[in-house]
């Protein structure tokens, strides 16, 4: 019995260092994409890493699972965290900044232990 012919990958002969010519986009197209991304920063999501207590994470995941079938409830852990942070930021603005938005930071946050 003859073996079937091996299938060739669509990536055969390509190089990650030298992409094919048709894959490169002209610079003006890239600029318009960046402009669109900057136009609506509120809708854009950004992945971040923060340390949380294990009990907080457990409660978060339990709530996300319990609310998964509830209409109008946050859709998952990320939505729950986002809603909680927005609510807490509003409380902080009212308490410490007369309800106004906090000023834009001047650079990256300082690393290391907090000054008390």
Helix (H, G, I), strand (E, B) or coil at 90: helix
> What pLDDT is attached to residue 80?
95
> What pLDDT is attached to residue 40?
54
pLDDT tens digits in sequence order for the chain, 116 residues long: 788 888 777 777 777 777 666 555 554 444 444 444 444 567 788 898 889 999 999 999 999 999 998 999 988 999 999 999 999 999 999 999 999 999 999 999 888 887 77
**CB neighbour list of residue 76: distance below 8 Å, 6 or more residues apart:** 64, 68
> What pLDDT is attached to residue 23?
52
Domain boundaries, the chain: 54-97
């Amino acid at each position: 019995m003859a073996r079937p012919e091996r299938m060739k990958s669509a990536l055969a002969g390509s190089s990650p260092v030298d992409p094919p010519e048709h894959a490169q986009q002209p610079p003006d197209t890239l600029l318009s994409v960046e402009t669109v991304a900057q136009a609506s920063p509120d809708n854009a999501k950004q992945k971040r890493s923060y340390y949380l207590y294990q009990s907080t994470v457990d409660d978060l995941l339990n709530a996300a699972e319990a609310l998964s079938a509830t209409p109008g409830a946050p859709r998952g852990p990320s939505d729950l965290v986002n809603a909680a942070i927005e609510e807490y930021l509003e409380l902080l603005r009212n308490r410490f900044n007369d309800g106004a938005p906090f000023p834009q930071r001047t650079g990256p946050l300082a690393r290391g232990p907090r000054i008390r």
